[in-house]
Amino acid sequence: MNTTPLSRRRFAQLIGAGAAAALTRPALSLAREAVPQNAATSAVVRLSSNENPYGPSAKALRAVTDAFGVACRYPDDHADLLIAALAKHNNVTADQVLLGAGSGEILRICTTAFTGPMTDGRGGTAVVADPTFEPVANIAREGGAEVVKVPLTSGYAHDLERMLEVLKGGMVYVCNPNNPTASITPKTQLREFIEKAPQNTMILVDEAYHHYVESGEYESVIPLIKDHPNLLVARTFSKVYGMAGMRCGYCLAQPEVIARLRPLQLNDGVNITALVAGTTSLSDAEQVANGKRMNKEARAFTLGELERLGYQSIPSQANFIMFDTKRPVVPLIAAMKQRKVQVGRLFPALPSHMRVTIGKKAEMERFVSAFREVIA
């Protein structure tokens, strides 16, 4: 038996090769590949955080392996490379890009900058949908700001007319597609909202899930930045690029806005492996195409099974779904956890709705099986 230790590079190459193999064989889940028969029901299925279960692309993993060789250096040069790539990718200039340790840091920076006490008249209020991704409201409230929640429309879009009525400086947050509902706010409505919003209110549009959208009623608002100094767009590598654990996100805005945010940025906050993986992922078109296709297939299976059980989902334009369980969801969440299937948390505005991340086909089969048991 060979007991020679693996080198760091060889170990990383083996990991990368295994992940790449899994990516190129999407029809086969890890639970079905050379494992004991009972392993498919022993592991926890994590469908709670809207992660991409297929991970980074093979090219990104190779770039990460190579980056180990310069891990002793600070990541400034690689940050500059990613900023340049993002500027080109989004048709903006480098001084319009701010990196963050995931979009989580971006949301914190923007909320801190524009809902705290400011000398130029901004600040003091955060307007958000209900329900939506909670960190903006939580951060604003922690900073002493007033948080105004506006319920979604009956079609689960942001109620932009009502939001417009309550704007009074500070910041308004629009998550599109929205988390937790996986729904979109139509492009025409959002464009008109941006045009009408007062200049003393910053508009933060979170496009974390934009890659998954198939509806013609959706569009990114990045092209509108050039004409609107109060518009910011947050994006992340955590979703279709499969880098949730590596923490890399970014913000796009006019240069003056980015300059205002930069002092709040964590210095060298994005590590070198995330930087090189992000730069490589931008040029890997197959990662986006494969991610959308595999998500669509597993989502269609799940929705079909739920429909056969008599449950309807909010139309999803993301890598997760939300459906009405017809009863309080908290006991169901706990019962699913007992069966080693983790689903999304309670969103108080929709107390009977369950949010479920779309995992691999085998994981969604586990979800359906467990859900059948808990509703029996």
CA 168 – CA 191 distance, rounded (Å): 19
Write down the mean pLDDT value for the chain.
Answer: 89
Helix (H, G, I), strand (E, B) or coil at 319: coil
Neighbouring CB atoms inside 10 A of 121's CB total 9
pLDDT of residue 123: 56
Domains of the chain: 22-56+285-375 (3.90.1150.10), 61-282 (3.40.640.10)
CA 353 to the chain's CA centroid: 20
Please provide residue 235's backbone torsions phi and psi, each rounded to the nearest 5 degrees. -135, 170
The two three-digit tokens of residue 196, written as one number: 């009408």
| DSSP 8-state secondary structure symbol assigned to residue 266 | P
pTM, entire model: 0.88
What is the rounded CA–CA span in Å between residue 172 and residue 258?
17
Render pLDDT for 13-38 as a digit per residue (tens, 0 to 9).
Answer: 433 444 443 333 333 233 333 333 44
Label residue 116 exposed, middle or buried (CB < 10 Å: 0-12, 13-18, 19+). Answer: middle
CA-to-CA separations, 234 to 69, 133, 174, 249, 301, in angstroms, rounded: 31, 13, 10, 8, 30
CA 78 to chain centre: 23
Counting Cβ atoms within 10 Å, is residue 37 exposed (0-12), middle (13-18) or buried (19+)? Answer: exposed
Return the pLDDT at 209.
98
pLDDT at 19: 41
pLDDT truncated to tens, each residue of the chain (376 aa)? 343 343 444 434 433 444 443 333 333 233 333 333 444 556 999 999 999 999 999 999 999 999 999 889 999 999 999 999 999 999 999 999 999 999 999 999 999 999 976 535 555 899 999 999 999 999 999 988 999 999 999 999 999 999 999 998 999 999 999 999 999 999 999 999 999 999 999 999 999 999 999 999 999 999 999 999 999 999 999 999 999 999 999 999 999 999 999 999 988 899 999 999 999 999 998 999 999 999 999 999 999 999 999 999 999 999 999 999 999 999 999 999 999 999 999 999 999 999 999 999 999 999 999 999 999 9
Gyration radius from the chain CA atoms: 21
